[in-house]
């Protein structure tokens, strides 16, 4: 399974224009895997897997590769890259453009290629949840024949208390001859030490019995336990379906290994951090947090603070006494609006789990314009708009 490249031309144009608060995360996985393809062929391999992710306020780019040294001999490699650009539309709607690509190559000379472009519209209500719909089209090759691929998408996600739940339906047509629909659900849980992702899915429609692995349901779980900020232990197991767009058989897998991670924030202006208020030092008036910042009102906002519990950022607070609805949007919400909860004395709050580093955000009141909260340093993003900077030590 080869090195692949998935590129989003619109997002790459955005990368070229990024000059502020660009987050770069790279990682390297070292491990071993055991696989059983098409319910008949078993293989064990040592695996090397580098990955890179670049994130900025309105888009992202990611690339990864995997090289597997099979036992007792042989090798296979695969790769992928993806990039997307987000854009605000009217009211609670936002748009997204992406291009993804991938491919594989093997010691026996076999190879595959795939490239798909997609457009999506997201609808975010005044809460930490949203729905989306989209269309996608592209080309794929199993190394022998090139085929056209068309997809439609419908999905929804919710993020209660730092968890992310997602469900999607994806009808797919390959060269007007193969038609099927995938139904998939995902759960993502994350803390400072643990990251866990689980996936379940089922398929209806056409299959390729010559590829074996005819099961129509699948599921998997993957865990990362961070021993230190840059060193983690990984483990995963489960099954996956036949890939009808590239001709891969379905199978089962189990993996274990070590992950090394590096993070950086590039081109960030030197600005002071927004005051962070420890919850155990606060007055009991509003969930234990006093007014950390109460500068001159910016629009209908008159205060902003980050609250910590046990030394970790745990909540954002915005003061908007006359508001009926207050929402925040930032890199930690995927730039989707999240509703805050009314507290006391004109304050509104939402739980967050912010990692150390630079974060960007905006706030809006009663569906109005997105504003930089008072007390934050202002930065111009690649769209010519303004975002506020919060630095978590």
CATH of the domain at 337: 2.60.40.10
Query: To the nearest 10°, the Cα dihedral for 85, 90, 92, 93?
Result: -40
Q: For position 377, what pLDDT does the model report?
A: 78
Q: Is the pLDDT of residue 90 over 90?
A: no
Point out the least confidently predicted range of 122-131, 174-183, 219-228, 257-266.
122-131
Q: What are phi and psi of 15, to 5 degrees?
A: -60, -40
183, HSE (Cβ side, Cα atoms, 13 Å): 6
Same domain, 172 and 35: yes
**Collapsed DSSP state (helix, strand, coil) of residue 285:** coil
Using 50, 70 and 90 to split pLDDT, how confident is the model at 205? confident
Over residues 122-137, mean pLDDT: 82
Examine the fold and report which residue of 243, 266, 289 is the final residue of a domain before the chain moves on: 266
The answer to whether position 23 is within a domain reads yes
Q: What is the pLDDT of residues 56-65, one digit of tens each?
A: 767 889 999 9
The answer to whether position 213 is within a domain reads yes
Q: For position 112, what pLDDT does the model report?
A: 87
Examine the fold and report which residue of 248, 266, 284 is the final residue of a domain before the chain moves on: 266
Same domain, 226 and 360: no
C-beta of residue 317 within 8 angstroms of C-beta of residue 276 = no
Same domain, 85 and 149: yes
Using 50, 70 and 90 to split pLDDT, how confident is the model at 50? very high
Residues sharing a CB contact under 8 Å with residue 67, sequence separation 6 or more, in sequence order: 47, 48, 49, 75, 76, 77
Q: Is the pLDDT of residue 332 over 80?
A: yes
Q: Is the pLDDT of residue 7 over 60?
A: no
Q: Is the pLDDT of residue 237 over 90?
A: yes
Q: Rounded CA gap, 265 and 358, in Å?
A: 7
The answer to whether position 210 is within a domain reads yes
The answer to whether position 4 is within a domain reads no
Same domain, 248 and 353: no
Using 50, 70 and 90 to split pLDDT, how confident is the model at 47? very high
Same domain, 54 and 89: yes
Same domain, 293 and 368: yes
Same domain, 377 and 262: no
Over residues 163-192, mean pLDDT: 87
- Tokens standing for 261? 């991670």
Same domain, 257 and 348: no
Over residues 7-24, mean pLDDT: 41
Query: What rounded mean pLDDT belongs to the chain?
Result: 77
Over residues 81-105, mean pLDDT: 88
Using 50, 70 and 90 to split pLDDT, how confident is the model at 330? confident
Point out the least confidently predicted range of 107-121, 170-184, 293-307, 364-378.
293-307
Same domain, 177 and 309: no
Using 50, 70 and 90 to split pLDDT, how confident is the model at 276? very low
Using 50, 70 and 90 to split pLDDT, how confident is the model at 380? low
Same domain, 112 and 195: yes
Count of domains observed in the chain:
2
**Would you put residue 137 in left (φ > 0), alpha (ψ -120 to 50) or beta?**
beta
Same domain, 98 and 149: yes
Q: Is the pLDDT of residue 229 over 50?
A: yes
Using 50, 70 and 90 to split pLDDT, how confident is the model at 225? very high
The helices-and-strands tally (H runs, E runs) of the chain is 1, 24
CATH of the domain at 42: 2.40.160.40
Over residues 50-78, mean pLDDT: 87
Structural domain boundaries, residue 115: 9-266
The answer to whether position 271 is within a domain reads no
The answer to whether position 328 is within a domain reads yes
Q: For position 176, what pLDDT does the model report?
A: 74
- Does the reported pTM lie above 0.85? no
Q: For position 303, what pLDDT does the model report?
A: 85
C-beta of residue 51 within 8 angstroms of C-beta of residue 66 = no
Examine the fold and report which residue of 211, 236, 266 is the final residue of a domain before the chain moves on: 266
Higher pLDDT, 179 or 133: 133
Q: What is the pLDDT of residues 343-361, one digit of tens each?
A: 878 889 988 888 777 888 8
Same domain, 55 and 164: yes
Q: Is the pLDDT of residue 326 over 70?
A: yes
The answer to whether position 77 is within a domain reads yes
Q: Is the pLDDT of residue 268 over 90?
A: no
Over residues 301-323, mean pLDDT: 82
The answer to whether position 2 is within a domain reads no
Over residues 243-270, mean pLDDT: 74
């Amino acid at each position: 399974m080869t090195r692949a490249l998935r590129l989003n031309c619109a997002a790459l144009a955005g990368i070229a224009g990024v000059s502020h608060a660009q987050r770069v995360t790279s990682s390297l996985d070292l491990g071993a895997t055991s696989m059983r393809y098409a319910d008949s062929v078993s293989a064990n391999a040592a695996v090397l897997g580098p990955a890179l992710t670049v994130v900025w306020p309105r888009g992202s780019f990611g690339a990864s590769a995997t090289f597997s040294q099979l036992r007792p001999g042989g090798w296979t490699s695969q790769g992928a890259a993806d990039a997307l650009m987000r854009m605000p539309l009217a009211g609670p709607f936002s748009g997204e453009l992406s291009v993804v690509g991938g491919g594989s190559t093997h010691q026996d000379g076999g190879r595959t290629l795939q490239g798909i472009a997609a457009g999506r519209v997201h609808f975010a209500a005044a809460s930490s949840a949203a729905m989306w719909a989209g269309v996608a089209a592209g080309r794929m090759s199993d190394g022998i024949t090139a085929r056209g691929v068309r997809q439609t998408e419908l999905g929804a996600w919710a993020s209660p208390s730092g968890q992310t739940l997602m469900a999607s339906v994806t009808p797919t047509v390959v060269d007007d001859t193969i038609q099927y629909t995938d139904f998939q659900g995902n759960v993502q849980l994350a803390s400072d030490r643990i990251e866990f992702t689980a996936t379940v899915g089922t398929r209806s429609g056409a299959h390729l019995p010559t590829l074996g692995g005819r099961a129509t349901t699948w599921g998997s779980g993957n865990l990362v336990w961070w021993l230190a900020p840059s060193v983690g232990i990984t483990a995963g197991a489960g099954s996956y379906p036949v890939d009808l767009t590239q001709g891969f058989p379905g199978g089962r897998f189990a993996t274990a290994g070590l992950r090394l991670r590096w993070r950086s924030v590039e081109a960030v202006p030197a600005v002071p951090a927004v005051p962070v208020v420890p919850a155990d030092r606060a007055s009991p008036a509003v969930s234990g947090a006093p007014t950390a910042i109460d500068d001159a009102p910016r629009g209908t906002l008159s205060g902003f603070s980050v609250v910590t519990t046990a030394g970790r950022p745990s909540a954002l607070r915005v003061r908007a006494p006359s508001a009926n609805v207050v929402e925040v949007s930032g890199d930690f919400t995927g730039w989707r609006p999240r509703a805050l909860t009314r507290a006391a004395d004109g304050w509104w709050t939402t739980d967050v789990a912010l990692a150390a580093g630079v974060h960007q955000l905006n706030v809006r009141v009663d569906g109005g314009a997105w504003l930089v909260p008072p007390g934050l340093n202002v930065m111009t993003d690649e769209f010519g708009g303004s975002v506020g900077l919060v630095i978590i030590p």
